[in-house]
Amino acid sequence: MKKLKKLIKFFIFIFMLGVFTIIGFYGYAKLTPKLEIKSANAFLMYDTNEELFFQGSGSQEWVSLNNISEYLIKATISTEDKSFYKHHGFDFLRIMKALYINISTKSRRQGASTISQQYAKNLFLDFDKTWERKWNEMWLTMRLETHYSKDEILEGYLNTINYGHGMYGIENASNYYFNKSAKDLTLAEACMLTGIPKSPSYYSPLVNLKLATSRQISILNNLLKNKVISKEEYDNAVKEKLTFYGKKENSQLATIMYYQDAVIRELKNIREIPNSYLETGGIKIYTNLNMDAQKALEDAIKNNLDDETELQASGIMMDPNTGKIIALVGGRDFNKSQYNRAYQAKRQVGSTMKPLLYYAALENGFTSSTTFTSEETTFTFSNNQTYSPQNAGGTYGDKPISLATAISYSDNIYAVKTHMFLGEDALVNIAKRLGITANLELIPSLPLGTSSISMIEMANSYAAFANEGYKVEGHLITRVEDLKGNVLYDRKIKHEAILNKSLTFILNNLLTSTYDSTFIDYNYPTALSIAAKINHKIALKSGSTDTDSWSIGYNKDVLCSIWVGYDDNRDLPLNEYKYVKSIFADSIEGFLKDKEDSWYDMPNNVVGVLANPITGMPATESDTKKKIMYYVKGTEPSFTDPVFDEILDTN
């Protein structure tokens, strides 16, 4: 009995201690400065001309509760937090119930966040589920509850919550989905919008109408069950046929939602930015977005892919000298899929891997004229394993061809021979030097692009060729300020020399062979089909696997990378490989329209030699094919080079 009394006293003590602790925290919260919630979580994005192209949250579309449909208010409270007007920020009974359900079902399906807690969470940049993050959320909830009335908290919540498609706040969402003000929403419309914030990528009616409607009906049932609406109101709402608008007032926003998404992702990884928007009262983000480049990229995808196809496409344009990403498209339609393929996906890169190999080859003594025989070949490597790569279309020259020709035709036999000659680690090492972090296996097929790499990393690696040898990192944000103009972050461009300028000059010129009719012989240059579209001198390499199609090209001023494929990794039919090259040509030429050629000056230790591009030998009067090819001084081809003995013997 004595033990029981002691136990009861102990629990009473713990309970009272908890009560006084909570009272103490609320008292301290009351003494802290009042939070400026109308400017909190405001983020304004500016393009390269410092023109505003996106504003999320903030006070631009802030509406009072009096100007929000009563249906929307009731649906939100009934769905998210029935006891909102009764608790002080935390619903402890709901928390205990959620814990019990989650423990008994061994899941985390049941949540217990109040509207106040969700509002505090919305004011954060960092959504990681850490203890520090949870504590900050609790503390901000207390500060909100002690400084603001329930109506003010609810108003702030409804003006900052994410309704999908870049729409933050109920007024923005109402105009976007239904082309009307929030005060004019019907019950059916209000319940449809109420269902979206739980998971905007799933419950947007523009993404999945069936799923969104199911959640709308669930919310209506909940309102009826709790006697918030009558049976007549319920029946009318269920019968109401909704018409969705799905447009933004600023038409430019429709072309840059993927760019905006990538900006937010990058923003979360910048350490210099405070953990919450509250501490800055909102931020201004100065990005590298170039509207002309973005429009060229978007138009090229739209004009080349049929609306009915399930094919996806993504692309980026970058200033290779700085790494500034001036345009980005993560998919064909942000309204249908928010998955940002340009930023998140890793896909097999195909023969776009070959320029990395050939730069390593140039470092190891290869020249534009170095030859290997293009013929069906079976390679034997460790443990007597064999590998028999095939050229596209089964086309072989059955004769020695130059490195220039191998690049023009994207000859797989030449690439694997080079890979095996240099050693399988040579390609891996140069890839790492160029900033590729993907796991690359030491296998014979590596130069044929069997590894999966992100678009950003491929662009970074090609940028080093485009800027004549410097490592840069692709980025979208240049500067971040608070709303008072105080600089929170200022991107510093670092230039680390990692490649030889002379060799990049040679490689860049070799990559113009991919659309050069001079190389027509037993085969055709891989990008000859778009030669008529290319009006500026660019270095270009395409690549394809069964499931992926790429084109990456550049000059001194701009780099463009395009990918086309299916999200489910199904094989591409032969007639669909053509799209990526047309999208590339239309993108880069659309941006370069009315701009002069921007090509590379020849380094002092490089010479140009008139050569036969197929054989790599010095050109003679009898040669019908002649082209100036480039070499480091002292490595120019001559008729006495032993490498040409096989060619001379066949003549």
Q: At what angle do helices 150-160 and 115-122 cross, to 10 degrees?
A: 50
Report the distance separating Cα 385 and Cα 424, nearest Å.
15
Report the distance separating Cα 338 and Cα 206, nearest Å.
11
In 3D space, the residue among 362, 372, 501, 495 whose CA is nearest the CA of residue 426 turns out to be 362
Tokens of 207: 């993404």
Contacts of 239 (CB under 8 A, 6+ apart): none
Contacts of 598 (CB under 8 A, 6+ apart): 536, 555, 556, 557
Q: Scan for tokens 């047309």, then name that residue.
A: 582
Are 555 and 538 within 8 A, CB to CB? yes
Can you list the positions of beta strands (E) in 13-68?
43-46, 52-56
Tokens of 305: 């892919």
Backbone angles phi, psi at 336, to 5 degrees: -95, -30
* C-alpha 513 chain-centroid distance: 30
How far from 255 is each of 53, 55, 247, 356, CA to CA, in Å? 11, 15, 12, 32
Helix (H, G, I), strand (E, B) or coil at 120: helix
In 3D space, the residue among 180, 315, 327, 161 whose CA is nearest the CA of residue 244 turns out to be 180
Tokens of 29: 């919260």
For the sheet with 477-482, list strands across it.
52-56, 43-46, 283-287, 477-482, 487-490
Which helix (DSSP H) or strand (DSSP E) does residue 329 occupy? Answer: strand 324-329
Contacts of 205 (CB under 8 A, 6+ apart): 177, 192, 212, 213, 242, 244
**What pairs with residue 287 in β-bridges?**
477
Report the distance separating Cα 148 and Cα 237, nearest Å.
34
In 3D space, the residue among 501, 495, 445 whose CA is nearest the CA of residue 472 turns out to be 495
Contacts of 414 (CB under 8 A, 6+ apart): 372, 374, 401, 403, 406
Q: Report the residue count for the chain.
A: 651
Report the distance separating Cα 477 and Cα 509, nearest Å.
32
Q: Is 561 an active-site residue?
A: no
The H-assigned helical ranges of 44-196 are: 70-80, 92-105, 115-122, 131-147, 150-160, 170-178, 187-194
- Among candidate residues 78, 116, 351, 402, the one labeled active-site is 351
Q: Is 80 an active-site residue?
A: yes
- Among candidate residues 39, 69, 78, 80, the one labeled active-site is 80
How far from 54 is each of 179, 227, 258, 281, 330, CA to CA, in Å? 19, 40, 12, 17, 17
Q: At what angle do helices 187-194 and 231-239 cross, to 10 degrees?
A: 80
Report the distance separating Cα 316 and Cα 181, nearest Å.
36
Tokens of 21: 């602790």
Which residue numbers are catalytic?
80, 351
